[in-house]
Structure 1
Amino acid sequence: TEKASNKSVDQFELIGNRMTAVQDHLLQIKSQSAQLQQQNQALSIQLQSLQTDVQALALNNEAVPVQEAAQPDAFNGVLDQITMMANELSSQVQDGAFRVVSAYTAKGQWVLIRFHRFTGETWLADKGQWNQLDESAATGTAEYEVVLLRADKDIKGYVAARINRITGESWWLKQNVWQPYLQ
């Protein structure tokens, strides 16, 4: 019966952990959606402004001498640049630059690590604030992923690893410092 009650407790803990993970994911989606909506509104305002400028150019075009007729080409170049910037911003908002990973230790402590997926910078949540984790060496710009797992035999109660998804470089978290795995 003791095994059965321990198994029930473990199952409830597992369900609680999964619910927390789903809740975290929903909060991330909500935040990304709000950011995307704000950027869409800003882009809409910019496009309306550009449309007004185009209409003004069309009205002035009748009075413009032939030498200044190259302005629409210059305007199209600027419009292309703005479109490229808008696409880049949109892809960054959809994917988001920041990620959060979390786990519960055997003692019920919630461990939360936030990381910037392009710089590799990481922060550990502690008492309602983010404390930046130290680097043993510079990381550089790439695409990073962090994995955080419960580890009952580890003194901290968890283990964390980070990988540069482009080069394959990887690190493990020793205390609050990322240590590289030697190749």
Structure 2
Amino acid sequence: MEKAFAEIIKQIGENPDRDGLIDTPKRAAKAFEFLTEGYRRDVDQVVNGALFESDFNEMVVVSGIELYSLCEHHMLPFIGQCHVAYIPNGKVLGLSKVARIVDLYARRLQIQEGLTTQIANTMMDVTNAEGVGVIIEARHMCMMMRGVEKQNSVMRTSAMLGAFKENQATRNEFLSLIRKP
């Protein structure tokens, strides 16, 4: 990967041997490995057995989970937040594991629509919940830094499964709980 970044630096007309760029290929490779670490992890590793018996059967909402991802079309960042809700069915997931599931998929090349669906499906599979709702709100650098250059655009995506899809009242409760005051 270092060689590839050195070649990119050359291709844009820069000298990879100049003082400020000498270690850039190494640093860029290290950063890119971190930004795509989701390929080197799996759900079982992330959840790590943190699923606990519980008779709690009301909605659990974790909102405002920061996310940083790279779009698969331009490999530019999209940055935002994710809101995840589920209705337990005999088991609850450790709180930090919800955020870790978001990170697992966010740290891969993809589109926001796919990320939203992956998180929802994984939450449903892991928890066997009565339902799962996921909403992502993100700003895309490919829209802001290039192309149409729209600085204030926000993309919102949602995935509703089980009770969140079938029951309007459940969906409305989720939406009301994540609204900012």
Q: What TM-score do the two structures reach when normalised by structure 1?
A: 0.27
Q: What TM-score do the two structures reach when normalised by structure 2?
A: 0.28
Question: Which structure carries more relative contact order (alpha carbon 8 Å, separation 6+)?
Answer: 2
Structure (1/2) with the larger helix percentage? 1
